Amino acid sequence: MSNTDAEMPAIYPPSPAVLDQAWIKDWRSYAKNANLDPVTYWEGRARELEWSRLWTTVLDDSQAPFYKWFTGARTNIVTNAIDRHLQGPRKNKLALLWESEDGQETRTFSYFSLNREVTTMANVLKALGVRKGDRVTIYLPRIPEVFFAMLACAKIGAVHSVIFAGFSADALTSRIDDSESKVVITSDGSWINGSVFPLKDIVDEAVRFSPTVENVLVVKRTGTKVHMDPLRDHWYHDLTALPIARGTCETVQVDAEDPLFILYTSGSTGKPKAVLHTHGGYMVGTYATLHDTFDIHDEDRFWCTADAGWITGHSYVVYGPLLCGATSFMYEGGPSYPHPDRWWSLIEHFGITTLYTAPTAIRSLMRFGDAWVNRHDLSSLRLLGTVGEPINPEAWRWFYEVVGGSRAPIMDTWWQTETGMFQIAGVPAMPQKPGSAGYPVFGQRAEIVDDKGNPVPDGTEGFLTLLNPWPAMMRTLYNDDQRYLDSYWNVFPGRYATGDSARRDSDGYYWVIGRTDDIIKVSGHRLGTAEIEAAVASATAVAEAAAIGLPHEIKGNAIHVYVVLNPGHEGNRTTVEEIRAHVAAHLSPIAKPDEVVFVESLPKTRSGKIMRRVLRARALGHDEGDLSTLDD
Ligand code: WT7
């Protein structure tokens, strides 16, 4: 993968057609105004939505960095994602379009029928005893019920915790326990490349000793035979047939600062971080950023390929599109099953106008060649987007030219689970530079600093920090205020530390380089070295392990683990496969190491910390740097 390409233009100005359609044409003065007074800017954006009581303060920074937004206000994200659309012509507009992996099933929901489904699920949850503030774990594949479940929780003021349905039982248990969920919503199974992944079995294992889970709600998807505990488990379709599921359900008006969801994400230590987002600010932030960056128009069909188990799915599959009154498309399967043109055929068939995906998916599809794309009419596409990791020039150009017909700008969006919404991203009218996410979003300021927190000159790599609070920012780490402070605010006082390195060019464009901490982005998925190491080390053969990420052509990074074996175990092919399978079963198949290397010992500091940078330098043949802290 080369990072330079002399033939490629460095900057792509918007075409007259793009400019003509764009909501925001004069983005420079728009940005200038917003940045002059971000609080007033955000207040204006909030006024575009419905509130049952207005705020007394837009931004309360008296307890900073525990910022509060729109204090005193009451609303519910569902009031704006669904209810307000039922009052006008959008009532009959498609809110959700869905297609099954095998292509045999299409399900469509207008805002009217989405409301009916969400109301039904909300009534069922209430009947199961779920009350405002209770936590509900959602462990579902990409099916419409994941929309219903998330929105039903929000509607009654419950707090959802969606777990990506590729995590294993151990990972699920720790997240259910940490959130003290009362109910788990799952399905009998999920379809993955034509076979069934046994979600219900995994839930059974995960909740067996749960002190909090009272009920498990099971959506029938694959028809697989599953065990149903008569006291705990309920088929969703059985409950929806009962009178309890019928009738209307009030969208409870909550405080703007009431919690909407918890989302677990990887940190530098083994324990995942429970990122907490709230109704009011998250609603305003996801609405405004999706509207501006993807220039949402009523006739759009928006497809964000992320899974609802990640923040991208929360913000830009479920909430953002509905808040904008858009049509969101969801596809159950992956990019290349049963054929490498599956996605392209969906775009043609459904007339998708906007495709938002990850560089790793683009690289994996690019590998199959242009012919798979070219046999489809993709002329409906008017905008493209990427997220999750930096995009390399080759993938950018292929996406732009072959997929977008050199017609659709690529919106590179930099953000994080913690930020809830885009932080560095353009709008279509802004000239795009391949590989750069552009400028901070309206109302945001970013700075690159050295390790002491002093800004560095343009062109120099440093730590990416954010200066202004923004409405969709996480409020804390659930039950762990101290970790919130230490991870994000105590690193560089007065700044939000992103954990990424970046540089800014002389035009003010930001170029994100990658993580500076012990987080590895593998195929756009975020994994912590410590959690991978813990999973590896729990295999019987393993005494201790170190995990690092090394560059990979398609995945961006690949996981390499260095393993010290227990006495009596041999470092052979079988052990490698055992370790890989063990990680898949105990953490997730997405965390399976690409390489397992057996070593006699691991490089450590005298205080016993693994020096991963030494392993990385050795693997890449680089200079090992300062080894003065290395123990022997
Ligand atoms: C990390 C956050 C919220 C988006 C999905 C990932 C990396 C994200 C970009 C981008 C370069 C990016 C960063 C960030 N990242 N978007 N456009 N260009 N890097 O969310 O799992 O919380 O990961 O993803 O390293 O810190 P996440």
How many Å lie between the centroid of ligand 1 and the Cα of residue 484?
Answer: 18
Q: pLDDT at position 626, please?
A: 80
Please state the atom number of ligand 1 nearest to the C-alpha of residue 419: 3
Please tell me whether the peptide bond between 603 and the residue prior to it is cis, using omega within 30 degrees of 0.
Answer: no
Residue 383, pLDDT above cutoff 50:
yes
How many Å lie between the centroid of ligand 1 and the Cα of residue 39?
Answer: 25
Question: What is the C-alpha separation between 110 and 92, in angstroms, rounded?
Answer: 5
386 is written with which tokens? 């990427």
Is any atom of ligand 1 closer than 6 Å to the C-beta of 512?
yes
pLDDT tens sequence across 331-376: 999 999 999 999 999 999 999 999 999 999 999 999 999 999 999 9
Say if strands 159-162 and 496-504 run parallel, antiparallel, or are unpaired.
unpaired
pLDDT tens sequence across 197-244: 999 999 999 999 999 999 999 999 999 999 999 999 999 999 999 999
Q: Nearest residue CA, atom 24 of ligand 1?
A: 388
Biggest alpha carbon–alpha carbon distance for the chain: 72
310, 413, 526, 588: residue to mutate for ligand 1 pocket, most atoms within 8 A of CB: 526
Question: What is the C-alpha separation between 70 and 81, in angstroms, rounded?
Answer: 18
Which helix (DSSP H) or strand (DSSP E) does residue 136 occupy?
A: strand 135-139
pLDDT tens sequence across 30-63: 999 999 999 999 999 999 999 999 999 999 999 9
How many Å lie between the centroid of ligand 1 and the Cα of residue 422?
Answer: 10
SS3 labels along 423-445:
CECCCCCCCECCCCCECECCCCC
Is any atom of ligand 1 closer than 6 Å to the C-beta of 307?
no
β-sheet bridge partners, residue 195 = 192
How many Å lie between the centroid of ligand 1 and the Cα of residue 413?
Answer: 8
Q: pLDDT at position 424, please?
A: 98
Mean of pLDDT values over 592-605: 96
β-sheet bridge partners, residue 12 = 432
Q: pLDDT at position 63, please?
A: 98
Q: Nearest residue CA, atom 2 of ligand 1?
A: 416
Which helix (DSSP H) or strand (DSSP E) does residue 70 occupy?
A: strand 68-71
Q: Nearest residue CA, atom 21 of ligand 1?
A: 526
SS3 261: strand
Q: pLDDT at position 632, please?
A: 65
pLDDT tens sequence across 148-180: 999 999 999 999 999 999 999 999 999 999 999
Is any atom of ligand 1 closer than 6 Å to the C-beta of 266?
no
Residue 191 sits at φ, ψ, to 5 deg, of: -90, 125
Q: pLDDT at position 7, please?
A: 59
The contacts of residue 56 (CB under 8 Å, 6+ apart) are 71, 72, 73
How many Å lie between the centroid of ligand 1 and the Cα of residue 398?
Answer: 21
How many Å lie between the centroid of ligand 1 and the Cα of residue 388?
Answer: 4
282, 415, 424: residue to mutate for ligand 1 pocket, most atoms within 8 A of CB: 415
Q: Nearest residue CA, atom 12 of ligand 1?
A: 389
What Cα–Cα distance (Å) separates residue 232 from each residue in 214, 222, 238, 463? 6, 21, 14, 49
Tokens 């992103």 identify what position? Answer: 498
Is any atom of ligand 1 closer than 6 Å to the C-beta of 388?
yes
How many Å lie between the centroid of ligand 1 and the Cα of residue 307?
Answer: 15
Confirm if 562 and 597 have CB atoms less than 8 A apart.
Answer: yes
Planar angle of CA 471, 67, 448, nearest 5 degrees: 75
Confirm if 494 and 61 have CB atoms less than 8 A apart.
Answer: no
Is any atom of ligand 1 closer than 6 Å to the C-beta of 275?
no
At the topology level, CATH places domain 83-99+110-255 in Rossmann fold (3.40.50)
Q: Nearest residue CA, atom 17 of ligand 1?
A: 414
β-sheet bridge partners, residue 94 = 110
Tokens 């959602």 identify what position? Answer: 138
Is any atom of ligand 1 closer than 6 Å to the C-beta of 358?
no
User: Higher confidence at residue 430 or residue 2?
Assistant: 430
Q: Options 3.40.190.10, 3.40.50.2030, 3.20.20.80, 3.30.300.30; which CATH number does 523-620 get?
A: 3.30.300.30
Q: pLDDT at position 3, please?
A: 41
Q: pLDDT at position 1, please?
A: 37
Tokens 């804390």 identify what position? Answer: 476
pLDDT tens sequence across 544-560: 999 999 999 999 999 99
The contacts of residue 70 (CB under 8 Å, 6+ apart) are 46, 51, 55, 57, 58, 256, 257, 280, 281, 284, 471
Is any atom of ligand 1 closer than 6 Å to the C-beta of 436?
no
Query: 530-552 burial by CB neighbour count: b if 16+ within 10 A, else e?
Result: bbbbbbbbebebbebbbbbbeeb
Alpha helices by DSSP H, listed for 324-441, are 342-350, 359-366, 371-374, 393-398
Residue 622 sits at φ, ψ, to 5 deg, of: -90, 170
Domain ranges of the chain: 83-99+110-255, 523-620
How many Å lie between the centroid of ligand 1 and the Cα of residue 325?
Answer: 26
Band of pLDDT at residue 476, cut at 50, 70 and 90: very high
Q: pLDDT at position 270, please?
A: 79
Task: Of 471, 443, 422, give the one whose Cα is nearest residue 68.
Answer: 471
How many Å lie between the centroid of ligand 1 and the Cα of residue 141?
Answer: 22
Q: Which of 7-16, 71-80, 100-109, 432-441 has the lowest mean pLDDT?
A: 7-16
Q: Residue 561 has what DSSP assignment? A: E
Planar angle of CA 465, 471, 473, nearest 5 degrees: 50
How many Å lie between the centroid of ligand 1 and the Cα of residue 514?
Answer: 9
How many Å lie between the centroid of ligand 1 and the Cα of residue 597?
Answer: 28
Is any atom of ligand 1 closer than 6 Å to the C-beta of 464?
no
How many Å lie between the centroid of ligand 1 and the Cα of residue 295?
Answer: 21
76 is written with which tokens? 């519910």
Mean of pLDDT values over 319-332: 98
Is any atom of ligand 1 closer than 6 Å to the C-beta of 417?
yes
